[in-house]
């Protein structure tokens, strides 16, 4: 625990302001550079300790155009979205700084203190672990996170409450806690100590010192130059390539039988997808021309477009590259988006970005765990994740490429890039093999489906969706 | 009304697909070019007419990576947000195409048909007028809008309902209308005829012809090359510059009196801002160094940062320039954002963009009406818009610039650009004068406040907020 010495000497405020602005501009200049980073400041604390005042003061000392303050009243967890989802779109882009108060810790405390059945300690600590893991992922992806707790003794809190006027008191009451209740205060302190071990604690008895301490910690974070490690320490242990990828088995099926079964299965899938209050994410991956588009067509056959959204993932835009690579997927998730279908996914990080060298060794090697956590957080919040890899043989890809080239209205699907990727066929197979070995989890297993014969594959795709939805 | 001839000859589907893809890529290539545009397709119609099927078919004929389909179940208007707000962030960027079904017309129909007290016809028609005006604004800002109604006779609808299986029927019922009720069907037809005059109507008896007609209309829209008119037809009639801008009166105030009054007013403003369920937008404009930052500091003095959000508006980012200029402000509005403070605003269009030539004559001249509509839509949906212009004299600006240059931690506030802008002082005054004359509306009047003396100005700012909130 980092605890400030009480009563530090007051700094020259103008100098502090100048240093903050200089650091802010230096941060801004890192944008699109190799050492780029952003700074996220999480703020929580005792009511009336003065975090609001400290943030206002910070805003005056800095250039307010480049300091985003996101402040919301805490909300209770409702289990239908990961704790980070309401905040993810405000995670600052490279070169930016954001102060969030309103954040996942505030929500956790509110949830723990408010529900008639309080969170049990194991679950509470699990949340804290998940939050720390999420923050570590942010840091690894160039978002520096600092966490600052504004503390105030019971005695001072009571004194400040005595001095408030009615309308302010009224507003503060809206936040739902009774700050006159010593037991609740003690409980809050006990609870927050379960997560503030790696926080900066600011003692808020003295207002001036409080604001300056806060600003100095922000300054330190702005100036901190993390080294973006690019190369991995250890030699990578390559997984074996599964047989189904090397030579996908071809299972021919009778055309009439196929049609009957397809019709039955598309309806069954539609029913299963509609069932219940959960969300469903269907993630499709595979080599070029593996048949992802055709698969989607059959999945949504008996659905109305108002029931689902399809995301066709192309290369990231420039402004998206200023964020952690998962960010553009966080932003596509909405708590009430019932059915989302991804034509290519976040696995691009460990496939194309690995093979083409857009992600460094250490980045793609770390990504497996990051992706697992991402999917775990989703499946823990009523989202079923169905991951499908469509496997075709190299010969079949050649046939389909040639077919596309011959057909004018399909020619857009085949570019010189596809031919270039094809030359790296084995590298992609290796990448896929590693991906299966490391992201084939209980909660989000991979369904590898041989697709040289489209007909049997389509049925298999529908069956695997039913299986993952436990509707088979 | 554009009504298709029934039973047109079927086109060669492959050719249609090829044409669509070519047009799609040509559209994509306009991005960042002078002739750039986007295409927004609004789709509505009778249930089971097959708009979902037609959209799915379109997705197969086109490159799905560059076709966004946004489909939501309709929602009733709740009067706390303009009709366009839930959809604004999905308006396609230049070079893109989006199909929205789920749109404001669907919401209007749902509202008109569902409430126990139906919308009266005047209000209904007013909504339609506002929607058309909004779409015209989109078109003027390079978003082509086409609207397509999928029609189906009562008889065919009943036949299709007979042929549906139970689970689909169950899903369709969720949309809240009873499609077995002839009276309701007739009422819907009557209501939609009040807005479909400028729509394309597709008769959906025949499925194949329906899908092709739809695709052909989209193709036509993609290929349509609107000329972006740049120069205005008429000579601009310049407004007179108000005296308060030419020579802002200086009202000196006693320092002690000031402090007492400031304290009283900041609390009063906080109370007034917190009062009621409405949203408040405070928009601050003025020359460089006019004191906007200082004004904001006093406005939020007695508020907690969780109660408000401050937006400091800098020049638009490259990806924002691919949208109508109001788009980045639409995206900052949230239905439950109680208090939003803008340090510079959408008036940039008629100030800096006009003076610096970033907006063409015809663009900034049109913007006054666009902005008035924007603010009217907001004030019609429980949002109070407070617009404040801080007026300083040219001499006072000089003093403040020099002061900034002398003070190291304020130097960031003064750049060579500020000195350049100062040379265009008179042009900015002319632009401001026109702005006052044309956007000083009943629902969102301008408060012009002389700010050579900061102290009296601060009190005046707070008083004008109270006045606009009807709390003075």
Do A204 and A286 sit in the same domain of this protein? no
Q: Please compute the mean of the pLDDT values over residues A310-334 and round it to a whole number.
A: 93
Q: How many CB atoms lie within 10 A of CB B434?
A: 22
Position A354 pLDDT exceeds 50:
yes
Q: Please compute the mean of the pLDDT values over residues A426-450 and round it to a whole number.
A: 97
CA angle, A311 then A312 then A316, to 5° = 105
Tens-digit pLDDT profile for residues B286-334: 999 999 999 999 999 888 888 899 999 999 988 899 999 999 999 999 8
Do B198 and B343 sit in the same domain of this protein? no
Minimum Cα–Cα distance from A13: chain B residue:
B409
Task: Assess if residue B237 is contained within a domain.
Answer: no
Q: How many CB atoms lie within 10 A of CB B244?
A: 14
Q: Kindly state the tokens that stand for B249.
A: 């009166």
Q: Are B393 and B247 in contact (CB under 8 A)?
A: yes
Task: Assess if residue B233 is contained within a domain.
Answer: no
Do B290 and B175 sit in the same domain of this protein? no
Interchain CB distance below 8 Å, A409 and B319: no
DSSP structure string for A131-156: HHHHHHHHHHTTEEEEEEEEE--HHH
Q: What is the pLDDT of residue B226?
A: 77
Q: What is the pLDDT of residue B169?
A: 72
CATH number at A362 reads 3.40.50.300
C-alpha distance from A205 to closest chain B C-alpha (Å): 19
Q: Are B400 and B391 in contact (CB under 8 A)?
A: no
Position A159 pLDDT exceeds 80:
yes
Task: Assess if residue A326 is contained within a domain.
Answer: yes
Tens-digit pLDDT profile for residues B377-426: 999 999 999 999 999 999 999 999 999 999 888 888 899 999 999 999 99
Report chain A residues whose CB lies below 8 A from the CB of B71: 304-307, 309
Task: Assess if residue B230 is contained within a domain.
Answer: no
| Three-class DSSP category at A390 | strand
Interchain CB distance below 8 Å, B14 and A412: no
Position A2 pLDDT exceeds 90:
no
Q: What is the pLDDT of residue B282?
A: 98
B191, B223, B255: which is the final residue of a domain?
B223
Task: Assess if residue B63 is contained within a domain.
Answer: yes
Do A200 and A307 sit in the same domain of this protein? no
* Mean residue pLDDT across chain A: 91
Of the residues A51, A65, A99, the best mutation for testing chain B's interface (the one with the most B CB atoms within 10 Å of its CB) is A65
Do A200 and A107 sit in the same domain of this protein? yes
Burial status of residue A54 (CB atoms within 10 A of its CB: 0-12, 13-18, 19 or more):
buried
C-alpha distance from B314 to closest chain A C-alpha (Å): 7
Task: Assess if residue A209 is contained within a domain.
Answer: yes
B158, B188, B223: which is the final residue of a domain?
B223
SS3 content of chain A, % helix, strand, coil (to 5): 50, 15, 35
Position A18 pLDDT exceeds 90:
yes
- Alpha-carbon distance of A367 to A349, in angstroms, equals 7
Half-sphere exposure in the Cβ direction for A128 (13 Å, CA) = 18
C-alpha distance from A214 to closest chain B C-alpha (Å): 16
Rg for chain B, CA atoms, rounded: 26
Q: Please compute the mean of the pLDDT values over residues A114-125 and round it to a whole number.
A: 84
Do B206 and B314 sit in the same domain of this protein? no
Do A168 and A282 sit in the same domain of this protein? no
Between the alpha carbon of residue B258 and those of residues A60, B162, B300, B460, B467, the distances in Å are 21, 77, 17, 11, 19
Do A290 and A435 sit in the same domain of this protein? yes
Position B101 pLDDT exceeds 90:
no
Residue of B52, B171, B305 lying closest to A71 (CB–CB):
B305
- Alpha-carbon distance of A447 to A439, in angstroms, equals 12
Interchain CB distance below 8 Å, B64 and A319: no
Interchain CB distance below 8 Å, A102 and B55: no
Q: What is the ipTM of this complex?
A: 0.87
Q: Please compute the mean of the pLDDT values over residues A375-402 and round it to a whole number.
A: 96
Report chain B residues whose CB lies below 8 A from the CB of A165: 267
Q: Please compute the mean of the pLDDT values over residues B128-155 and round it to a whole number.
A: 97
Between the two ends of chain A, the Cα-to-Cα distance in Å is: 51
Output the CA torsion A401→A404→A410→A412 (10° steps).
Answer: 50
Q: How confident is the model at residue A1 (pLDDT cuts 50, 70, 90)?
A: very low
Domain span at residue A172 reads 2-223
Q: Please compute the mean of the pLDDT values over residues A359-370 and round it to a whole number.
A: 96
Highest mean pLDDT among A63-67, A69-73, B65-69, B369-373: B369-373
Report chain A residues whose CB lies below 8 A from the CB of B305: 52, 55-56, 69, 71, 101
Where do we find the tokens 């006990």?
A190
Q: How confident is the model at residue B252 (pLDDT cuts 50, 70, 90)?
A: confident
Position B459 pLDDT exceeds 70:
yes
Interchain CB distance below 8 Å, A18 and B267: no
Count: domains in chain A: 2
The pair phi, psi for residue B375, each rounded to 5°, is -70, -30
Minimum Cα–Cα distance from B410: chain A residue:
A18
Half-sphere exposure in the Cβ direction for A329 (13 Å, CA) = 24
C-alpha distance from A267 to closest chain B C-alpha (Å): 9
Report chain B residues whose CB lies below 8 A from the CB of A102: 306
Q: What is the pLDDT of residue A368?
A: 98
Q: Are A420 and A431 in contact (CB under 8 A)?
A: no
* Mean residue pLDDT across chain B: 91
Task: Assess if residue A237 is contained within a domain.
Answer: no
B157, B188, B223: which is the final residue of a domain?
B223
Do B324 and B187 sit in the same domain of this protein? no
Do B442 and B364 sit in the same domain of this protein? yes
Interchain CB distance below 8 Å, A18 and B271: no
Q: Kindly state the tokens that stand for B49.
A: 């007419």
Position B173 pLDDT exceeds 60:
no
Residue of B63, B172, B302 lying closest to A412 (CB–CB):
B63
Task: Assess if residue A229 is contained within a domain.
Answer: no
Interchain CB distance below 8 Å, A305 and B52: yes
**Which of A83-87, A234-238, B387-391 shows the lowest per-residue confidence on average (mean pLDDT)?**
A234-238
Bridge partners for B154 per DSSP: none
Q: How confident is the model at residue A23 (pLDDT cuts 50, 70, 90)?
A: very high
Do B202 and B253 sit in the same domain of this protein? no
Interchain CB distance below 8 Å, B60 and A304: no
Q: Kindly state the tokens that stand for B440.
A: 């000083």
| Three-class DSSP category at B284 | strand
Tens-digit pLDDT profile for residues A211-223: 999 999 999 999 9
Do B91 and B165 sit in the same domain of this protein? yes
**Which of A178-182, A333-337, A452-456 shows the lowest per-residue confidence on average (mean pLDDT)?**
A333-337
């Amino acid at each position: 625990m980092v605890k400030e010495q009480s009563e530090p000497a007051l700094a020259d405020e103008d100098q502090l302001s100048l240093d903050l602005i200089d650091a802010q501009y230096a941060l801004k200049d890192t944008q699109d550079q190799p050492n780029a980073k952003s700074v996220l400041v999480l703020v929580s604390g005792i009511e009336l300790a003065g975090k609001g005042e400290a943030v206002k003061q910070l805003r005056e000392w800095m250039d307010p155009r480049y300091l985003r303050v996101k402040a919301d009243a805490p909300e209770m967890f409702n289990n239908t979205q990961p704790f980070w989802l309401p905040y993810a779109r405000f995670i600052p882009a490279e070169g930016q700084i954001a102060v969030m108060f309103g954040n996942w810790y505030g929500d956790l405390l509110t949830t723990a203190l408010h529900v008639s059945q309080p969170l049990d300690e194991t679950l509470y600590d699990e949340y804290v672990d998940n939050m720390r893991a999420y923050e570590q992922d942010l840091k690894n992806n160039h978002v520096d996170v600092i966490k600052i707790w504004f503390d105030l003794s019971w005695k001072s809190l009571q004194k400040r409450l005595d001095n408030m006027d009615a309308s302010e008191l009224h507003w503060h009451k809206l936040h739902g806690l009774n700050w006159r209740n010593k037991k609740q205060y003690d409980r809050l302190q006990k609870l927050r100590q379960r997560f503030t071990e790696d926080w900066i604690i600011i003692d808020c008895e003295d207002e001036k010192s409080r604001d300056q301490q806060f600003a100095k910690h922000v300054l330190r974070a702005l100036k901190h130059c993390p080294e973006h490690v690019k190369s991995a320490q250890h030699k990578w242990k390559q997984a074996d390539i599964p047989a189904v990828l090397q030579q996908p088995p071809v299972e021919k099926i009778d055309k009439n039988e196929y049609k009957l079964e397809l019709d039955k299965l598309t309806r069954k899938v539609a029913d299963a997808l509609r069932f219940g209050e959960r969300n469903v994410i269907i993630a499709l991956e595979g080599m070029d021309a593996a048949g992802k588009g055709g698969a989607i067509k059959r999945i949504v056959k008996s659905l109305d477009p108002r029931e689902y959204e399809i995301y066709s993932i192309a290369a990231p835009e420039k402004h998206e590259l200023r964020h952690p690579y998962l960010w553009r997927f966080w932003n596509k998730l909405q708590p009430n988006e019932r059915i989302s279908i991804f034509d290519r996914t976040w696995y691009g990080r460990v496939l194309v970005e690995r093979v083409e060298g857009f992600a460094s060794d250490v980045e793609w090697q770390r990504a497996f765990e990051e992706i697992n956590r991402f999917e775990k957080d989703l499946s823990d919040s009523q989202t079923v994740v169905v991951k499908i890899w469509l496997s075709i043989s190299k010969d079949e890809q050649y046939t389909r490429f040639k077919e596309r080239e011959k057909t004018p209205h399909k020619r857009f699907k085949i570019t010189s890039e596809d031919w270039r990727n094809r030359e790296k066929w084995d590298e992609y197979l290796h990448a896929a093999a590693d991906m299966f070995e490391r992201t084939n989890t209980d909660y989000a297993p991979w369904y590898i489906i041989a697709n040289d014969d489209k007909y049997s594959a389509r049925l298999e795709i529908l069956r695997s969706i039913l299986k993952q939805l436990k509707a088979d």
